[in-house]
Amino acid sequence: MTRTPDERDAEWRARLSPLAYAVTRRAATEAPFSHQGFAPGPGTFTCVCCGAPLFATASKFESGCGWPAFSAPLPEAPVAEARDASHGMLRTEVRCAECDAHLGHVFDDGPGPGGLRYCINGVALDFAPDEG
């Protein structure tokens, strides 16, 4: 059975917190330094909407920007990029290619060999610690 866009939207609203809904489904941004953080240790950051694995703790770093920052997504991560000209700026938006959730933006001012900083809204992610 095919759901209408309104039905799918109602499902997202029921499943997500109001802030997670605003960020992932309406491309809002959580306030900098507002996310409570994640459990320490190795693991995988997944999409809060669909559970797709996106980033590993090995690529996470402290950028001082106020949002979780990663140098690269997982090799097989369903991460899509799109041009974002909103708010009078030209940026590259990062979305989950599985469910089209807005995650954040990617910038070319990061550390490491790729020089990228994936600046991701914490509320758009869940964290699954490695077992063991």
Q: Which of 47, 49, 96, 119 is catalytic?
A: 119
- 119 annotated active-site: yes
DSSP 64: S
Q: Exposure pattern of 48-71 as b/e (b: 16+ CB <10 Å)?
A: bbeebbbbbbebbeebeeebbbbb
φ, ψ at 26 (rounded to 5°): -125, 10
Q: Exposure pattern of 110-130 as b/e (b: 16+ CB <10 Å)?
A: beeeeebbbbbbbbbbbbeee
79-84, strands of its sheet edge to edge: 60-61, 69-70, 117-120, 102-107, 91-96, 79-84
Q: Where in the sequence numbering do the catalytic residues fall?
A: 119
